[in-house]
Amino acid sequence: MNRKPGNIRNNYGLQLIRKRILPGWQLYVLLLPTLIYYGVFHYWPMYGVQLAFKEFIAAKGIMGSPWVGLINYKRFFSSYQVYELFRNTIVLSVTQLFLTFPIPIILAIMINMVASKHIKKFIQTVVFLPHFITVVVVVGILFVALSPVSGIVNMLIRNAGGTPIHFMGKAEWFRPLYIGTTVWQHSGWSCIIYLGALTTINPELYEAATVDGAGSLQRIIYIDIPSILPTATIMLILNAGTIMSIGFEKAFLMQTPLNIDTSEIISTYVYKMGLLNAQYCYSTAIGLLNNAINLALVLIVNQICRKLGETSVF
């Protein structure tokens, strides 16, 4: 007698549950809160993405609001600010990526070369601590330290015979300050991944290289760098996906009417349009476009890395 396809699938599903899921049900219970979190706060809000193609009317709700197609995108690309927004976002993101990406690698290699365990732990603690300072505090320190009247930096400049600089009021200083504080705050934390990769290196490789007469620089070039290259490639691909989504909080907190020419980026613009001006459909359209560009960048960089080497995310 031939079995029905539906019965075969049901039997296979029951066998799969008995053999693979039930023996480790405790692990699935531990995983459940994470799945609920992502479902509620990451996947369910995607229901509102349709606002990008609608004219939202609160009385009718999201589903009842009329469909307007690509009008919101036409409005954005015809805006006089579109070029400035893309320019500021891309310049700030790409500059930050190229300046901050290699620093954690260099820092991890330098820490790994320290022979004393106590000194190594002390250095790790010192460089890790800034990561735990909130963005609000970091920006507050910037405003206080760089104040043109009472800031310690301008006091030193004044004592040296120079003219005080209004750092937070000059558009050309926004990017250096933003990137510099990012390097100081997150480089130590980011190097943890590379330190983990360096600890997996077989010590016999170093011993063999030393016996062959290799110096410290040669050991770095021929042992350390090839060992962490796959990890660095994965991190580069993941960072490429955030080029258009550079951090909103710091940019918004550092933004002043005097430096807005370089500090106004897509994320701050979306916040102002969506929450301050209540233009929900318009801001949703820009946010969706932003995420689509990030996805495309991840796919492109991943494909390039796959062709140049054997390491890729997928």
Give the pLDDT mean for 219-248: 81
Average pLDDT, whole number, for the chain? Answer: 83
Return the DSSP state at 273: I
pLDDT band for position 287 (cuts 50, 70, 90): confident
The answer on 210 and 140 residing in a single domain is: yes
Angstrom distance (rounded) from CA 27 to CA 113: 39
First to last CA, the chain: 43
For the chain, the farthest-separated pair of C-alpha atoms sits apart, in whole angstroms, at: 99
The answer on 179 and 205 residing in a single domain is: yes
- Cβ-contact 123, 114 below 8 angstroms: yes
> At residue 1, does pLDDT exceed 50?
no
More confident residue, 243 or 98: 98
pLDDT of residue 8: 52
The answer on 200 and 86 residing in a single domain is: yes
Closest CA to 108 of 182, 180, 210, 187: 187
Task: Identify whether 58 is part of a domain.
Answer: no
What burial class does residue 147 get, using C-beta atoms within 10 Å of its C-beta: 0-12 exposed, 13-18 middle, 19+ buried?
middle
Closest CA to 235 of 274, 197, 266: 197
The answer on 182 and 43 residing in a single domain is: no
The answer on 296 and 258 residing in a single domain is: yes
Write the pLDDT tens digit of every residue in 2-34. 555 555 555 666 676 667 777 777 888 888 899
Percentages of the chain per state (helix, strand, coil), in multiples of 5? 80, 0, 20
Tokens found for residue 89: 């976002």
Structural domain for 11, as ranges: 1-52
The answer on 36 and 148 residing in a single domain is: no
Domain count across the chain:
2
Task: Identify whether 238 is part of a domain.
Answer: yes
The answer on 303 and 196 residing in a single domain is: yes
The answer on 129 and 28 residing in a single domain is: no
Q: What is the CA radius of gyration of the chain?
A: 26
The answer on 146 and 2 residing in a single domain is: no
pLDDT band for position 207 (cuts 50, 70, 90): confident
The answer on 26 and 152 residing in a single domain is: no
Write the pLDDT tens digit of every residue in 254-282. 988 888 888 888 888 988 888 888 888 88
State the pTM of this model. Answer: 0.80
* CATH assignment at residue 267: 1.10.3720.10
More confident residue, 195 or 24: 195
The answer on 246 and 118 residing in a single domain is: yes
pLDDT of residue 314: 67
